[in-house]
Amino acid sequence: MRFLSFVFIATVLILLGSVGRADWFWQNPLPTGNLLGSVCFLDQSTGYAVGSHGTIMRTTDGGATWTPQTSGTNNILGSVHFPLNAQTGYAVGDTGTVLKTTDGGVTWTSQTSGTRQRLWSVHFPSDVITGYAVGSYSTIIKTTNGGTTWITLNSDTIGWLSSVQFPLDADTGYVVGNYGSQGIIMKTTTGGVTWVSQDPGITCDPRSVCFPLNAQTGYVVGGGSGGVVLKTTNGGAVWTQQNSGTPFPLRAVDFPVDDQTGFAVGILGVILRTTDGGQNWSCQIPDTSRFLYTVHFPVDAATGYAAGSGGAVFKTTDGGTTWSNLTRGPDFDFYSAHFPVDAVTGYAVGSDMGPGVIMKTTNGGSNWAIQSAGLPHTARSLSFPENPVTGYLAGYTGYIAKTTDGGGSWVSQASGSTHDLYAVHFPVNDQTGYVAGQFGTLLKTTDGGGDWVTQPLGISIWLYSVCFPVDDQTGFVVGDRGTIVKTTDGGANWVPKPSPTTNFLYGVAFPSDATTGYISGEMRSSVLKTADGGESWVIQTSSDIWDLISIDFPTDAQTGYAVGIGGTTLKTTDGGNAWTNQLSCTDNHLMSVHFPVDALTGYAVGSYGTIIKTTDGGGVWVVEEKAEGGGKRLEVRITAKPNPFTSFATVPGHSSDRFSLYDISGRRVGTYRGDRIGEGLQAGVYFLRAEKGEAKPLRVIKLR
């Protein structure tokens, strides 16, 4: 479906500034729904996890509870390492971020790394003084004074370095990564002064390296042709491929006590175990489809942890025979939230890998319970027009359902359509309502859903939102290609209105009357406003703002909120003349925002089970917009040739510029020169974005 292709792109606003504390907080899943890229345990009880949006968490009870720590950054953190004890540790991440703590994470201090490249891995071999970090564009940095200064080492290679380990001391170590389809394995015996390339023996994408006992016997895992496992017994002079038994790429490996028993994790919840030095690998099932990026067994081969996308954390105490989920709450993708009469009782609807799900809270979100699962189709929108008892939901394949007992049971209604439905709205009572969806589908009922009648819209584009501000006669519908249509006679006639954009429009809100209204949409036209009943619309937000999927003005036309891609959360208090970036506490995509009663208490829901809440209007933020490049941002119009491609694509005119690729889960999979886009990646759909400038991301397809 076309809509989804526009919401998979992980993004970060280019609005930079000084911000205060974050007053959006997690309700589901707990302790976080942010991607976790690395875990490090000092023993079976005390450990740390880091991930997207600057997430750092600590546990002292083996993962039963986690305490968030203040990292001081919103950058993705890709690796954490506490070399000796639970007090002094390091975390590294995007844009050259290096953080250090000497008090167990009570405070984290930013260090000057000397690079702006993303750092994927950090390792201090034997003490807290000498350590290494590696990252994109062949970056290797080293410190010999506990991070007071970091120096850049000459790696003598080109590529993306994803893992570093020095098995015994600070002299002999290994780095792995890739350059397109070429796997990179390098070794140093001089503390990083010189590096010698080693031949992995196959075309692969190495992601993690582990030498458990010495610098002779080690393992590398990654992707390529299925889940790649390589082994050496002679310090990397020869690497031999092992049969992993999985078709899915692997992302991390750990041999906790010897070179015989080890574990590897990867995408779609893959966990592998060997007890014979990799001759045989068995698949363990943790009951998840989330991507797993990290695994660590701190003391022995019995108790270990794995973590990954959506805040997933799993634990085993029996050597991987069974894995328990330490994350509380479901990880469904939510598309809509609605609190009918107050901020206490509300609903969230979405999808569990296809089937629809409904969750309900009766205590302001302190607890969310699965009310209905296994609905026949994904649920996209719901409306309780008068009270929390009678409500409607709409979803894929023409699915419409009604409840008259507060969601205890839902009865399907005959919509007469097989198209996906994205929005349902009952403006005045529980009898007259509207549903909008795919191919210009617009339905109306006047008898509580007994009959749904097609409205004469006359267009076949996707419709994403419908709003009747004050009665069931005057309403608006918005959709793709900048479509805005209006009716003043209850849908008997619909009139197209002039639109200042041809971009996708996702949400519409008229807070108090049919005169002043707002629309949220695709970047470069993220918020539109009308003050004359939709006869004319003006673009309010700048091109810095990415896709905004939902918009809500709870009490008047002055104070409103909009949410969208990459956790984007905006607020205005002056009718949209200025929109302020808020810190939403997540990089996950936000699909719906709702402030039920006032402009203080609100909810936002989205991907990976995200439900976040604020009780103070998201906090008060001051954001100073800073223009890059001396006040002038670089405009880059991206094209890729060929597209689709088989080996790699090029960006004409930008062969030496840097570009990032994101997969459909929103994870950045690599950075590339403009003349080697996607080299070495598996077949799939990706999104290409210039690392500098404001260009709209481009969807590219690799065929094989």
Q: Which helix H or strand E contains 628, and what residues bound it? A: helix 628-631
Considering the domain boundaries, does residue 284 fall inside one? Answer: yes
Residue 125, SS3 per DSSP: coil
Considering the domain boundaries, does residue 553 fall inside one? Answer: yes
Considering the domain boundaries, does residue 4 fall inside one? Answer: no
Query: Are residue 476 and residue 343 in the same domain, yes or no?
Result: yes
Q: How far is CA 597 from the centre of its chain?
A: 29
Predicted local distance difference test score (pLDDT) of residue 548: 94
Query: Are residue 144 and residue 48 in the same domain, yes or no?
Result: yes
User: Judging by beta carbons within 10 Å of its beta carbon (0-12, 13-18, 19+), is residue 703 exposed, middle or buried?
Assistant: exposed
Report the alpha-carbon distance of residue 521 to residue 347 in Å, rounded.
24
Output the DSSP codes for 235-282: TTSS-EEE----SSPEEEEE--SSSSSEEEEEGGG-EEEESSTTS--E
Output the DSSP codes for 299-327: SSSSSEEEEEGGG-EEEESSTTSS-EE-S
Predicted local distance difference test score (pLDDT) of residue 2: 33
Query: Are residue 180 and residue 85 in the same domain, yes or no?
Result: yes
Query: Are residue 374 and residue 461 in the same domain, yes or no?
Result: yes
Query: Are residue 540 and residue 672 in the same domain, yes or no?
Result: no
Report the alpha-carbon distance of residue 624 to residue 96 in Å, rounded.
22
Residue listed under structure tokens 């998840």:
288
Considering the domain boundaries, does residue 293 fall inside one? Answer: yes
pLDDT along the chain (704 residues), means of 10: 32 30 81 96 95 96 95 94 94 97 94 95 97 96 97 92 97 94 94 96 94 97 92 97 94 97 94 96 82 96 96 96 92 93 94 86 94 86 92 95 93 95 95 96 96 91 95 96 96 94 94 95 86 95 75 95 92 92 90 94 95 87 31 46 83 79 66 84 78 62 73
- Among the three residues 325, 349, 384, which one is the final residue of a domain in this structure? 325
Helices first, then strands: H and E counts in the chain: 2, 60
Query: Are residue 338 and residue 279 in the same domain, yes or no?
Result: no
- Among the three residues 581, 614, 647, which one is the final residue of a domain in this structure? 614
Considering the domain boundaries, does residue 11 fall inside one? Answer: no
pLDDT tens-digit profile of 629-664? 333 323 334 678 887 788 888 888 787 777 888 765
Query: Are residue 422 and residue 532 in the same domain, yes or no?
Result: yes
Considering the domain boundaries, does residue 14 fall inside one? Answer: no
pLDDT tens-digit profile of 378-434? 999 999 998 889 999 999 999 999 999 999 999 999 999 999 999 999 999 999 999
* Predicted model pTM: 0.81
Residue 610, SS3 per DSSP: coil
Predicted local distance difference test score (pLDDT) of residue 680: 79
CATH of the domain at 507: 2.130.10.10
- Joined together, the tokens standing for residue 296 give 């660590």
- Among the three residues 325, 352, 380, which one is the final residue of a domain in this structure? 325
Query: Are residue 404 and residue 485 in the same domain, yes or no?
Result: yes
Query: Are residue 491 and residue 358 in the same domain, yes or no?
Result: yes
Query: Are residue 370 and residue 262 in the same domain, yes or no?
Result: no
Total domains present in the chain: 3
Considering the domain boundaries, does residue 26 fall inside one? Answer: no
Query: Are residue 157 and residue 286 in the same domain, yes or no?
Result: yes
Considering the domain boundaries, does residue 295 fall inside one? Answer: yes
Residue 372, SS3 per DSSP: strand
Letter for the amino acid at 304?
G
Determine the structural domain holding residue 439 and report its residue range: 333-614
Query: Are residue 659 and residue 639 in the same domain, yes or no?
Result: yes
